[in-house]
Amino acid sequence: MDLGIKGRKAVVCASSKGLGKACATALAEAGCEVVINGRDERALDAAAKEIVRETGAKVTTVAADVGSKDGRAALLAACPAPDILVNNNAGPPFKNFRELDHAALVKGVEANMITPIELIQAVIDGMVERKFGRIINITSGSVKMPLAGLDLSSGARAGLTAFLAGVAREVAASNVTINHILPGAFDTDRLRSNVKSASDRQGIDFDKLWKQRAEGIPTKRYGNPEEFGKLCAFIASTHAGYITGQNFLIDGGMFQGAF
């Protein structure tokens, strides 16, 4: 399917690996010029080379922390007028909510709520003027099904979702959409790291715990980042202009609800 976004400019935050990289790759495959971002310059350069090799697209790298003011400024300097913005950032580490001090709470909200809002503030009026814009926020399945220990991440991402609900309706008539993708368990370095930490804490073999957790998913497997990227590219496409203010849960059926 031709997604109708060939030649569009896309900024994908935190995209040197994992789900962000999958989104950048899928958008590049659709013909977009892509700006990718990460803090590890070596990993970022490797990701750029891989995307160029696979897609032939124009890829620009911005080595910076998107959670910082300077990092966001660097992204916008590389692409001042993106047609597509994919917000993504790592969440706070697993921690009992009783252990979260004021500084940790503020840091979590800044990373997973304020950072994407400030990027949206910077680009949305240009999208409205050009009568095309796709804003996609990678949040988490925990927005719908909170997990103990990830309370700060869940709260900040849910706050972002609620904050943008009204904004999405305000700009919809200008062919600018705002949607969210809520991932469940995907086979990424981050998930493997989390399972490794859990296996160490519980004294369980990593492979055993990894397989055990997969068995707990209705699909009996982890998600493939490529699947996630394809969904992102479709939501960014011209075919998705009538979809806005929505949460796309992609979790292999883990959320057991009818609505």
Q: Which residues make beta-bridge pairs with 85? A: 11, 135
The full set of domain ranges for the chain reads 9-185+225-250, 187-222
CA proximity to 87, closest of 174, 26, 30, 15: 15
Q: What is the CA radius of gyration of the chain?
A: 18
Residue-wise pLDDT for 141-155, tens only, equals: 999 998 888 999 999
Contact 213, 195 (CB under 8 A): yes
pLDDT bracket for residue 194 (50, 70, 90): confident
Q: Evaluate if residue 235 carries a pLDDT over 90.
A: yes
Average pLDDT over residues 2-25: 98
Which helix or strand (DSSP H or E) is residue 94 part of?
none
In this predicted structure, what is the pLDDT of residue 92? 87
Mean pLDDT of the chain: 96
Three-point CA angle 50, 230, 142, nearest 5°? 105
Q: Evaluate if residue 224 carries a pLDDT over 90.
A: yes
Please give the structure tokens belonging to residue 222: 């982890």
Fold for domain 9-185+225-250?
Answer: Rossmann fold (3.40.50)
Distance CA 40, CA 43 (A): 5
Residue-wise pLDDT for 85-121, tens only, equals: 999 998 888 889 999 999 999 999 999 999 999 999 9
Q: Evaluate if residue 161 carries a pLDDT over 90.
A: yes
